[in-house]
Amino acid sequence: MVERYALEPLKSLWTLKAQYERWLEVELAVVEAYEQIGIAPKGTAEEIRKKAVIDVDDILATEQVVDHDVIAFIKSVTKNMGDEARYFHYGLTSSDVVDTANSLALVRATDIILESMEKLSVVLYEKALQYKTLPTIGRTHGVHAEPTSFGLKFLSWYAELLRDIERLKIVREEIAVGKLSGAVGNYANISPEVEKIALGKLGLKPTPVATQVISRDYIAHLLATFALIAGLIERIAIEIRHLQRTEVLEAMEPFKEGQRGSSAMPHKKNPILCERLTGMARLMRSYAQVAFENMALWHERDISHSSAERYILPDSTMTIYYMLEKVRYIIENMKVFERKVLRNMNLTNGLVYSQRVLLALVEAGMSREEAYLLVQKFALECWESGEPLQDKLLSEKRVLDLLGEAKIEELFKPDYYLRNVDSIYARFDKKAD
């Protein structure tokens, strides 16, 4: 993980020391299970807990000799133990420890990520309420379309985030599984009873069927969900980036006191945070792709997944957490230039009201085809001349006779486009009432 993007508490979760501590958790849970069913003498786990020392440097030095990280861990941790060491790693294979410990890490990381998502949801909803009645121009294809509510931008993000929270909660329960079933998952040297007891102590469930490893669809599902969350964050970031363009300048990500935007141009305020998040979303999709590639292993397993997971598990969890924390900071502190929002809505001199004019003519008795062609003709002429569409309509006798001056003027008011916004907000637990 790039140090500058590694935030606590996720950063500490993925240190080597934390990894070895989780391995020890798994080993101790198994010994406690052996005690419970009478295989290991009472007090064995406590003796191991007292005598086990996690010395990262010693483990790494031992690994240089044995070229196997779990064996190095076992040798180092048990070297000060007596007879109780016989029950350490008894009946287990390396993947029992590593996969179960990885599940612990992923569950704990996901809980932290979910907490960050909940905080972001509060901020998004607050902004949605704040800008609910601010008219803005809606854009399709980057081109002015029709007026809408500026708050609906935030409400749309909020709604998607709620779906992502529910998705991640489901996956969190799904990944809370372990595997303590031996070399090829057939319980030849350890019983299902021991597995159930030990995993229960760790807050995990047994995976229904394992080979030497837990099937990698669990991890693929988790990282695919992270990629969806990153996709939402990218959607937010790109919207803010567009709104911050000089020609638009309706909103801007926070710019701290003392911050500098360019080494050459003192005037620059660049959307660097949003651009960073856009780049990170690409990484999150790539991590998900690697997780899908890891699903197909040879027979009961190979280790082609192992090296990849040493990258993608820490990096994906830390990256999505960083993205969530940073986008919350942006939303909380972004500037919205309301006068510019309103000014931009009028850039086309009323062309954005063309559909309302079209429908008014249809209601007044004109055929839809005739009304469309007429309004389009006027609109295209106004594109070229810069003349307000309203003036064009007022100068056309057919339109004036059908609609009247007062009705034409009424068609060019943006409030009409916000008349059903309350009903949209009411879908969210009635919080907008």
* Residues composing the chain: 433
| CA gap 77, 75 in Å, rounded | 6
Helices (H) and strands (E) in the chain, counts: 18, 6
Q: What is the pLDDT of residue 259?
A: 79
For range 413-417, the mean pLDDT = 94
Give alpha helix (H) positions in 248-300. Answer: 272-293
Q: Among 127-131, 269-273, 308-312, 326-330, which stretch is predicted with the lowest mean pLDDT?
A: 269-273
CB atoms within 10 A of CB 246: 6
The pLDDT of residue 408 is above 70: yes
Q: Indicate whether 431 pLDDT > 60.
A: no
Residue 215 has pLDDT above 90, yes or no: yes
pLDDT value, residue 71 = 97
Catalytically active residues, by annotation = 141, 262
Residue 120 has pLDDT above 90, yes or no: yes
pLDDT attached to residue 160: 98
In the chain the domains, ranked by start, together with CATH numbers, are: 1-90 (1.10.275.10), 93-342 (1.20.200.10), 351-411 (1.10.40.30)
Digit-coded pLDDT (tens) for 185-194: 999 999 999 9
pLDDT in tens, 158-183: 999 999 999 999 999 999 999 999 99
pLDDT of residue 222 exceeding 80, the answer is: yes
Output the pTM of the full model.
Answer: 0.94
pLDDT recorded at residue 256: 74
Confidence check: pLDDT of 49 > 70:
yes
Confidence of residue 432 (pLDDT cuts 50, 70, 90): very low
Say yes or no to pLDDT of 262 above 80. Answer: no
Q: What mean pLDDT do residues 129-137 have?
A: 97
Mapping DSSP to helix (H, G, I), strand (E, B) and coil, where does residue 132 land? coil
Confidence of residue 430 (pLDDT cuts 50, 70, 90): low
Name the average pLDDT for the chain: 95
CA distance to 1, 158, 159, 236, 242, per residue, from 165 (Å)? 24, 10, 10, 16, 26
pLDDT at 22 over 60: yes
pLDDT band, very low/low/confident/very high, at 264 (cuts 50, 70, 90):
confident
Which one, of 152, 103, 164, 161, lies nearest residue 128 by Cα?
152
Is residue 346 within 8 A of residue 314, CB to CB? The reply is no
Per-residue pLDDT at 433? 42
Q: Are strands 251-252 and 205-206 parallel, antiparallel or unpaired?
A: unpaired
Looking at the chain, the whole-number percentage of residues with pLDDT higher than 90 is: 94
Instruction: Give me the pLDDT at residue 169, please.
Output: 98
- Helix (H, G, I), strand (E, B), or coil: what is residue 335? strand
Q: For residue 401, which amino acid is it?
A: D
* Token pair recorded at residue 3: 């140090």
